[in-house]
């Protein structure tokens, strides 16, 4: 398996760190997890033929995690995708897709449909809201296990994913606080890709601090649960928020070579 971190940034525009998105490659198949700002451009840079992607997974529907998705979907169709895209995500995923492709882009899609330049099925999709406490999708030589995690409860549902293939595992989390379900999902994994949004002090003292995990708490639980390599992402770089001091906070708990400070287009063989 291979992890390609497409974007290591968060909400704000940052030319070095684009929005949340990552690819997990299993054999020949590229699975896309989140599709934030510039994801399609980063896929192009990474040499990922995004029109061949069959399965997309959303952690949650904050716009920093899905704003590139209409571009990805429609340009994939332009590039001759000829099968319905499978989309998996938390509650609200089907509604999100319906709003995009049956409301916002309905006229665009109808203007291209049945035109000889466009395939018949590339504008179709199958979206599934994962409502079960835990659900596993089987693929060609891999499985994707999904559990719900807490980010902005009661408003936004939120998922984390564990991809397993040939005895190896990559866990992709979105934005979240620490929960038993997430810790159990990530226990003993080869790679955990996890947010490192703000410094510990800011998270502990902010009103919205309950939406995110602090760097120190992340390092501690990842260590306790036997995570082998921890990739940090979703840095909210802005005045007063810098990556290295946050990484140091994680390092105090999760030291050694297992800690990887994510950057755009980072590739990791697993």
CA 3 to chain centroid? 11
Residue 10 CB, shortest distance to Zn ion, in Å, is: 5
From the list 26, 35, 46, 64, which residue makes contact with Zn ion (rule: CB under 5 A)? Answer: 64
Does residue 68 touch Zn ion according to CB under 5 A? no
Q: Around Cβ 59, how many Cβ atoms within 10 Å?
A: 27
User: With contacts defined by CB under 5 A, how many residues of the chain interact with Zn ion?
Assistant: 3
Question: 67 or 78, CB closer to Zn ion?
Answer: 67
Residue 64 CB, shortest distance to Zn ion, in Å, is: 4
What is d(CA 232, CA 222) in angstroms, rounded to the nearest whole number?
Answer: 12
Residue 269 CB, shortest distance to Zn ion, in Å, is: 26
Q: Around Cβ 166, how many Cβ atoms within 10 Å?
A: 11
Question: 26 or 130, CB closer to Zn ion?
Answer: 130
Please check whether residue 8 is in contact with residue 233, taking contact to mean a CB–CB distance below 8 angstroms.
Answer: yes
Site for Zn ion in 222-241 (CB under 5 A): none
Residue 266 CB, shortest distance to Zn ion, in Å, is: 18
- Per-residue string for binding with Zn ion, 108-127, x by CB under 5 A? --------------------
Does residue 62 touch Zn ion according to CB under 5 A? yes
Provide, for the chain, the percentages of residues in helix, strand and coil under a 3-state DSSP scheme, each rounded to the nearest 5.
30, 30, 40
Question: 38 or 76, CB closer to Zn ion?
Answer: 38
Site for Zn ion in 131-190 (CB under 5 A): 175
DSSP state letters, 36-104: -TTHHHHHHHHT--GGG--EEE-S---GGGTTTHHHHHHHHHHTT--SPEEEEESTTHHHHHHHIIIII
- Sign of the Cα pseudo-torsion (260, 67, 159, 81, in order): negative
Does residue 212 touch Zn ion according to CB under 5 A? no
Does residue 81 touch Zn ion according to CB under 5 A? no
Does residue 37 touch Zn ion according to CB under 5 A? no
Does residue 42 touch Zn ion according to CB under 5 A? no
The closest of 95, 75, 85, 70 to 121, measured between CA atoms, is 85
Residues that bind Zn ion (CB under 5 A): 62, 64, 175
């Amino acid at each position: 398996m291979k992890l390609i971190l497409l974007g290591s940034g968060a909400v704000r525009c940052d030319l070095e760190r684009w929005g949340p998105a990552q690819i997990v490659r299993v054999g020949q198949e590229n699975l896309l997890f989140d599709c934030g700002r510039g994801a399609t451009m980063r896929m192009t840079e990474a040499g990922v033929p995004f029109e061949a992607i069959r399965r997309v997974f959303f952690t949650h529907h904050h716009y920093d995690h899905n704003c590139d998705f209409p571009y990805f979907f429609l340009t994939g169709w332009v590039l001759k995708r000829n099968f319905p895209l499978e989309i998996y995500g938390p509650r609200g995923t089907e509604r999100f897709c319906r709003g995009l492709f049956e409301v916002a882009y309905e006229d665009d899609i109808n203007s291209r449909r049945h035109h000889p330049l466009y395939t018949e099925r590339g504008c179709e999709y199958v979206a599934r809201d994962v409502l079960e406490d835990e659900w596993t999708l089987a693929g060609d030589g891999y499985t994707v296990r999904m559990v719900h995690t807490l980010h902005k409860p009661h408003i936004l549902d939120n998922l984390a994913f564990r991809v397993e293939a040939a005895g190896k595992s990559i866990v992709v989390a979105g934005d979240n606080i620490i929960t038993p379900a997430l810790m159990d999902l990530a226990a003993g994994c080869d790679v955990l890709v996890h947010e490192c949004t703000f410094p510990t002090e800011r998270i502990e003292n902010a009103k919205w601090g309950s939406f995110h995990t602090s760097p120190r708490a992340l390092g501690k639980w990842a260590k306790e649960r036997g995570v082998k390599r921890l990739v940090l992402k979703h840095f909210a770089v802005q005045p007063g928020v810098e990556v290295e001091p946050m990484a140091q906070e994680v390092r105090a708990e999760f030291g050694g070579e297992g800690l990887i400070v994510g950057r755009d287009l980072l590739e990791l063989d697993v």
